[in-house]
Amino acid sequence: MPRDFYATVAQILPVLLLAFVWDSGYLARLHGERRSHRRADPVNGVQFWTKRRVRRYALTVTTGILLDLGLCALVLAGAVPDHVVVRVLVLGGLGLALVTLLTRISVDIIAATQDAATPEAVPLEARAAPVVLPVVTPAVAGETRDEPL
């Protein structure tokens, strides 16, 4: 029975790692965001999750998942004996991966379904001034006016 536990966790962790690190667009979205601290940018700054903290947390979770995966492989190979402490460590790594993934999914869902009328829901790039397009009237062909629609 314990051998099945380690084999199952060893199969689940790589999938969770892929979902955590190579989520579609997560790294590109994170790269494009300005995540300065609220002290430096009182209007658009973040309270806690600056890019530096996100980097440290993501690398810590990724390292923990990989160490957990390595521990499972060592138990399956017989290099580390099965013990309650080893099971607790493996479950802790699995729990960390699941909670991190749940948090990321929740944040993405909340951001995607937030009311577009609130200024916080609109990305900073989308808050630009309205664009005035030239309008061609059918009455006078070739003449354009610079009026908003």
Q: What residue numbers bound the domain in which 59 lies? A: 2-145
Is the entire prediction scored with pTM above 0.85?
no
25, 22, 100: which is closest to 64 by C-alpha?
100
Residue 71 near residue 86, CB atoms below 8 Å? yes
The DSSP annotation for 28-93 comes to HHHHH----BTTT-TTT-BSS--HHHHHHHHHHHHHHHHHHHHHHHHHHHTSS---HHHHHHHHHH
Alpha helices, DSSP H only, in 114-143?
none
The pLDDT confidence band at residue 35, using thresholds 50, 70 and 90, is confident
Q: What is the pLDDT of residue 131?
A: 47
How high does pLDDT run on average in the chain? 80
Domain count, the chain: 1
Please give the backbone phi and psi of residue 30, each rounded to the nearest 5 degrees, phi first: -65, -40
60-118 tens-digit pLDDT:
999 999 999 999 999 999 999 999 999 999 999 999 999 999 988 898 889 889 886 65
Residue 149 pLDDT greater than 60, yes or no: no
Residue 56 pLDDT greater than 80, yes or no: yes
Residue 10 pLDDT greater than 90, yes or no: yes
